[in-house]
Amino acid sequence: MYALNDRIKLRPMVAARKDDLLFVSSEECAIRKVCGSPDKVWHPDGGEPVIGIVKVTEKETEKGKVRKTEKETAKGMVKAMGKGRQD
């Protein structure tokens, strides 16, 4: 999941995490409506992306719920993001 903020912040963006969930909205109150107590809330700088990577469980791959191309894409994303910023 990608969320992009414009460089000059004409439109606000707020992001939050709760356990392994990622929330993104234009207002913090919208996030708090669906998640009353997030672990972390932040306001990304202008032009700063928020990137969430979907974890595929072994059980899902065994049942065939995830196509091979999706698995390969997820692995590639994790590898590409490996050197990125960690929060």
Tokens 């590409």 map to which residue?
A: 80
Q: What whole-number distance in Å separates Cα of residue 34 and Cα of residue 85?
A: 26
pLDDT digits (tens, 9 = 90+) for 34-63: 999 999 999 999 989 999 988 777 766 666
Residue 87, domain member (yes or no): no
Residue 86, domain member (yes or no): no
Residue 67, domain member (yes or no): yes
CB atoms < 10 A from the CB of 77, how many? 13
Residue 12, domain member (yes or no): yes
pLDDT digits (tens, 9 = 90+) for 7-39: 888 888 999 999 989 999 999 999 999 999 999
Containing 51, the helix (H) or strand (E) segment is: strand 50-51
Q: Whole-prediction pTM value?
A: 0.63
Q: Domain count for the chain, please give it.
A: 1
Q: What whole-number distance in Å separates Cα of residue 40 and Cα of residue 80?
A: 24
Range of the domain at 39: 2-81
Residue 70, domain member (yes or no): yes
Q: What whole-number distance in Å separates Cα of residue 7 and Cα of residue 19?
A: 29
Q: What whole-number distance in Å separates Cα of residue 87 and Cα of residue 83?
A: 12
Predicted confidence at residue 84, as pLDDT, reads: 42
Q: Which two tokens stand for residue 23?
A: 């929330």
Predicted confidence at residue 86, as pLDDT, reads: 44
Predicted confidence at residue 6, as pLDDT, reads: 85
